[in-house]
């Protein structure tokens, strides 16, 4: 299997209520999802090179935004990062649509109690937001502490409202 660094990615862009999304991957897995930030995407200079898996991911995202899909079926590569980050990303992948965890609860769920700051850093490094629901993690008091994808906190607020997740503004 090829790694993201060894070959040019298959690439597709998808319109969404959050702005354009950019997905990369191979024939087996989605590698990344980026949300427009300040009008730009990381690979905007590259032409689209879609494949069947990325087209399927685009269709699933369209259904998610239309409110007709609550879970994604496309495989996502949760590699890269450190072993700790990968364990956090695996934990994120278990949080269902419409539910949330605190950073502390997420840490306890992966056997890393007391690692709240490190959990937050790993959540922020998630390579496939939305597909792997990092927006579903809140502070223990229900507040949004930040969001690294798209336009930041407004993007997270939109996703939480879309899924009916209550949070403290």
Shared-domain flag, residues 107 and 157? yes
> What CATH number is given to the structural domain containing 127?
1.10.10.10
Cα 67 → chain centroid? 17
In a domain, 126, yes or no: yes
pLDDT for 169 equals 81
pLDDT at 6 over 70: no
Concatenate the DSSP letters of all residues of the chain into one string. Answer: ---TTTSPPEEEEE--TTS-EEEEE-SS-EEEEEE-BTTB-TTTTSPPB--HHHHHHHHHHHHHHHTS-SS--S-B---SS-HHHHHHHHHHTTSPTT--EEHHHHHHHTT-TT-HHHHHHHHHT-SSTTTS-GGGEE-TTSB-----STTSHHHHHHHHHHTT---B-
In a domain, 92, yes or no: yes
pLDDT at 91 over 60: yes
Range of the domain at 149: 83-162
In a domain, 168, yes or no: no
Shared-domain flag, residues 58 and 95? no
Average per-residue pLDDT for the chain: 94
pLDDT at 117 over 50: yes
The alpha carbon torsion through 159, 165, 168, 169 (nearest 10 deg) reads 30
Residues 123-161: tens digit of each pLDDT: 999 999 999 999 999 999 999 999 999 999 999 999 999
- pLDDT (mean) for 64-84: 96
- pLDDT (mean) for 34-59: 97
| Catalytic site residue from 11, 123, 131, 134 | 134
The band of 11, judged by pLDDT with boundaries at 50, 70 and 90, is: very high
pLDDT at 2 over 90: no
Residue 142 annotated in active site = no
| Structural domain count, the chain | 2
pLDDT at 5 over 60: no
């Amino acid at each position: 299997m090829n790694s993201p660094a060894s070959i040019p990615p298959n690439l597709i862009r998808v319109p969404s209520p959050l702005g354009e999304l950019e997905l990369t991957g191979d024939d087996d897995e989605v590698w990344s999802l980026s949300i427009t930030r300040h009008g730009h995407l990381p690979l905007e200079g590259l032409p689209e090179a879609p494949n069947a898996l990325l087209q399927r991911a685009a269709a699933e995202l369209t259904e998610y935004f239309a409110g007709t899909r609550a879970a994604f079926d496309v495989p996502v590569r949760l590699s890269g990062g450190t072993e700790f980050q990968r364990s956090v990303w695996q934990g994120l992948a278990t949080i269902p649509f419409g539910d949330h965890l605190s950073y502390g609860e997420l840490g306890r769920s992966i056997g890393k109690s007391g690692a709240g700051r490190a959990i937050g850093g790993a959540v922020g490094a998630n390579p496939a937001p939305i597909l792997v629901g990092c927006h579903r993690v809140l502070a223990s008091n229900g507040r949004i502490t930040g969001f690294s994808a798209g336009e930041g906190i407004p993007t997270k607020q939109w996703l939480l409202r879309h899924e009916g997740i209550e949070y403290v503004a």
